[in-house]
Chains A and B, each alone.
Chain A
Amino acid sequence: MIAKLRELLGYRELIESLVVRDLKVRYKNSMLGFLWSLVNPLLLMTVFTVVFTIMLPNVSIPKFPVFVLCALLPWNFFHTSVMGATNSIVQNGHLIKKVYFPREVLPIATVSSNLVNFLLALPVLFLFIIIFRVPLTIWLVYLPLVMAVQVAFTIGIALILATVNVFYRDTGVIMEVIMQAWFFLTPVFYPVDILPEWRTLWGIALPIRRLTYILNPMASIIASYRSVLYGFTNGSPPAPPAFDFFSRTIVTSLIFLAVGYVIFTRYSHRFGEEV
């Protein structure tokens, strides 16, 4: 295990090269390449802003564009990473079949290149933060940590799905649907406090809000981003995420990372034959 991790470390230049390749290919053929990657979140932000402040004015959330964008960007990072990583092994079959290198390099590189994209989009978010006069506080120091937690969780999921996709090739199709559902189940364009504390379904009382956090690590991660960047819907300024809540999120993410890594390395020796 340690040896494997050390080997992976030895291949960090390959990850770098793959990330550079990814970004170059992505932006090469369009002058506005990078700007294009911003179009999607900005458009979505606009749509949600229009829907929730003009069409449904009774949901009153201050500074709505910042509220939604500080969740949309991390979500986009997660979405594109997961979808890309799911295909990463199969797509690079030509490499897998010809050269040896630690296979986990591929999903990790996919997540990394999407992370770079995410980082490049952050200035736009800060632009909106300044325009809407959301206070920039000292708690921004938590941002890298929150991002690290998300990266860990995303890589964990990516490793699992990349493995599954080698053996069951329609994983990507299924994930497309699941990600859509996941998006709606995650408080991205609505605040988590809008959820009822308790709800009785078929005679069973369900703690909806708690369940959202427990069952959906992305909900906790998004909530952390929001608490650090935006603050709260009642207008209170940004604050660090609650300690116990955030520690649970960290532990959950690390567990996903570990499980993903174990599953991946368990099956990766068969990739050369299955791809």
Chain B
Amino acid sequence: MAIITVASVSKCFHLRPDRPRSFQELLVSTFKQRPRRALEQEFWALRDVSFTVEPGETLGIIGPNGSGKSTCLKLLTRIIEPTRGTVKVTGRVSALLELGAGFHPELTGRENIFLYSSVLGLRRQEMARRFEDVVAFAELERFIDIPVKFYSSGMYVRLAFAAAINVNPDVLLVDEVLAVGDQSFQTKCLERIQELRARGVTIVFVSHSLDVVRSLCDRTLWLESGHLREDGLTEAVVAHYLQRVHDKDEAAAMARRDVERAAQSVAGKPQERVDVRSMETARAAGAAPAGASSSAQTDEASQELATGAQPESSTDPLARYRKRWGTREAEIVNVRFLDQDGRERLLLTTGEPMMIAIEYIAHRRIEAPAFGVAFHRNDGLHMHGSNTTLAKFDIPFIEGRGEVRYTTDVLPLLEGTYYLSVAIHNVAENQTYDYQDFGYKFGVRLGPVSQRFGTIYIPARWEHVPGSAEKVREAGE
């Protein structure tokens, strides 16, 4: 039998900005004529969501911000009740929502543990039996009898976590609280959750950290604007979710850039187009909403992209490096990033093919030009630089319009935000026609290659040959 049953549950929050909140306001509002509009707005946080959880199952809930994850969890704890439908949870529910919420500062750690456990409906004797465990887990043996108002915030959270997790719950609800304490305590928390899981405790886990969801949960729900979009095995759901998030980011970024480009062509200043374009790229990339996070690193990347969304790119840490110089006898008028299907992208994928198309216009015939590119990570690290001379790729001359393409089959950049500098100069490198330093910004996300450590992705293979070193060498010969 299911331990959690959620049957066609909808939750509506009434947003009534002008509902009187005190008798004073009530009195005033009865005498004052108010416009009738905006009296009541409805917000459906969940719409017709149904699922069941079997005992011992570990369920993850993922979804972008505002998709109803937390509402869902609150319904499971019975803190709020559904507008329609029913929620049934059997057994003791312990929620790691906001740690230490029930603690009273004047009481000692010991007293608070007992108070907290009785809030969760645990018998006093039962807690007394586990008390030593809780204290040992929280590493607070020396401080358990002083009021928690004297605790450091780390001690406080440790005590709260220890108390919440040791009440012997049948169902444990976890909402993004594992980012507490030092590294070793975090590991300990995760271990304890794994342990509870092994012991058959049902766990519902809401998180933005898809990695943790992947490692903890057998099954995952994907919520999107209140609807249950997918319910299935974690790997599949997470993959679909990531795909969707990236598509959405890309679409939003493109749409934004197209709008700006259209505005630009109306303004009609072709010679400044490149400069504007570079800013556009930065801004458009910034339009990608945060939420496409498969790890903490992605969060940083999205954050970085988000800051670029400011109309003034002054918040862009590398904006001050953006420079352009050269004689402009030949100019770079546009740079596009293309994926393997030839579609233009602002967010590329590690390990997949990428093509950079550099459109130029040469105002006169230029003999033996050289095109160069350079990649910088958003912290300023120079990742790579190359040009056609070094690559022994000859371009006899350029005249009028054209395009130079720089292609890699395996993009080795890891998740993050990068800047591309492009340049046209002569082969001898004593004449610069157009140099756009840090001119273009693009993002990289992790794809199927789940490589994320270090600076670059090395497309390598692993092999294993058992036996002694000599034998192996012999076999090799």
B13 close to chain A: CB less than 8 A: yes
Q: Which residues of B contact A273 (CB under 8 A)?
A: 13, 80
Contact A24 B107, CB 8 Å, known A99-B101, A168-B22, A170-B24:
yes
Contact A168 B101, CB 8 Å, known A10-B121, A13-B118:
no
Q: Once the chains bind, are B21 and A95 in contact (CB under 8 Å)?
A: no
| Tally of A interface residues using CB under 8 Å | 29
Q: Which of B64-93 contact A (CB under 8 A)?
A: 74, 77-81, 93
A148: min CB distance to chain B, Å: 25
Q: Once the chains bind, are B106 and A171 in contact (CB under 8 Å)?
A: no
A21 close to chain B: CB less than 8 A: yes
Q: Once the chains bind, are A98 and B101 in contact (CB under 8 Å)?
A: yes
Q: How far is the CA of A240 from the CA of B362 in the complex (A)?
A: 113
A36 close to chain B: CB less than 8 A: no
- Interface bracket on B: 20 to 34
Chain B interface main SS type: loop
Q: Which residues of B contact A24 (CB under 8 A)?
A: 106-107, 111
Q: How far is the CA of A16 from the CA of B114 in the complex (A)?
A: 11
A169 close to chain B: CB less than 8 A: yes
Which single member of B22, B106, B115, B118 contacts A169 (CB below 8 Å)? B22
B120 close to chain A: CB less than 8 A: yes
Q: Once the chains bind, are B80 and A272 in contact (CB under 8 Å)?
A: yes
Q: Which residues of B contact A167 (CB under 8 A)?
A: 21
Q: Once the chains bind, are B21 and A169 in contact (CB under 8 Å)?
A: yes
Q: Once the chains bind, are B106 and A25 in contact (CB under 8 Å)?
A: yes
Q: Once the chains bind, are A99 and B114 in contact (CB under 8 Å)?
A: no
B357: min CB distance to chain A, Å: 53
Q: How far is the CA of A168 from the CA of B24 in the complex (A)?
A: 9
Q: How far is the CA of A3 from the CA of B95 in the complex (A)?
A: 23
B192 close to chain A: CB less than 8 A: no
Q: Once the chains bind, are B93 and A100 in contact (CB under 8 Å)?
A: yes
Q: Once the chains bind, are A14 and B118 in contact (CB under 8 Å)?
A: yes
Q: Which residues of B contact A99 (CB under 8 A)?
A: 77, 79, 95, 101-102, 119-120
A101 close to chain B: CB less than 8 A: yes
A139 close to chain B: CB less than 8 A: no
Q: Once the chains bind, are B118 and A100 in contact (CB under 8 Å)?
A: no
Q: Once the chains bind, are A14 and B119 in contact (CB under 8 Å)?
A: yes
Count A-B contacts at CB 8 Å.
78
Q: How far is the CA of A111 from the CA of B97 in the complex (A)?
A: 29
B400 close to chain A: CB less than 8 A: no
A169: min CB distance to chain B, Å: 5
Q: Which residues of A contact B23 (CB under 8 A)?
A: 168, 170-171, 174
Of B13, B95, B119, the most chain A CB neighbours within 10 A belong to B119
Q: How far is the CA of A269 from the CA of B11 in the complex (A)?
A: 13
Nearest residue (CB) in B for A10 is B121
A113: min CB distance to chain B, Å: 13
A28 close to chain B: CB less than 8 A: yes
Which single member of A11, A25, A101, A272 contacts B107 (CB below 8 Å)? A25
Q: Which of A172-204 contact B (CB under 8 A)?
A: 174
Q: Once the chains bind, are A17 and B114 in contact (CB under 8 Å)?
A: yes
B244 close to chain A: CB less than 8 A: no
Q: Which residues of B contact A101 (CB under 8 A)?
A: 119, 121
Nearest residue (CB) in B for A269 is B81
Nearest residue (CB) in B for A92 is B102
Q: Once the chains bind, are A96 and B79 in contact (CB under 8 Å)?
A: yes
Q: Once the chains bind, are B115 and A100 in contact (CB under 8 Å)?
A: no
B123 close to chain A: CB less than 8 A: yes
Q: How far is the CA of A28 from the CA of B123 in the complex (A)?
A: 25
A248 close to chain B: CB less than 8 A: no
Binary B-proximity of A1-42 (CB < 8 A = 1, otherwise 0): 000000000110110111001001100110000000000000
Nearest residue (CB) in B for A275 is B79
Binary B-proximity of A80-103 (CB < 8 A = 1, otherwise 0): 000000000000001111111100
Q: Once the chains bind, are A13 and B123 in contact (CB under 8 Å)?
A: yes
Q: Once the chains bind, are B22 and A170 in contact (CB under 8 Å)?
A: yes
Q: How far is the CA of A204 from the CA of B114 in the complex (A)?
A: 60
Q: Which residues of B contact A98 (CB under 8 A)?
A: 77, 79, 95, 97-98, 101-102
B70: min CB distance to chain A, Å: 11
Q: Which residues of A contact B104 (CB under 8 A)?
A: 21, 25
Binary A-proximity of B106-130 (CB < 8 A = 1, otherwise 0): 1100010011001111011000000
| 17 residue pairs bridging A and B, Cβ less than 8 Å apart | A17-B115, A17-B119, A17-B124, A18-B115, A28-B106, A95-B102, A97-B79, A97-B98, A99-B79, A99-B119, A99-B120, A101-B121, A167-B21, A168-B22, A269-B80, A272-B79, A272-B80
Q: What 3 pairs between A and B have smallest CB-CB spacing?
A: A100-B78, A170-B22, A98-B101
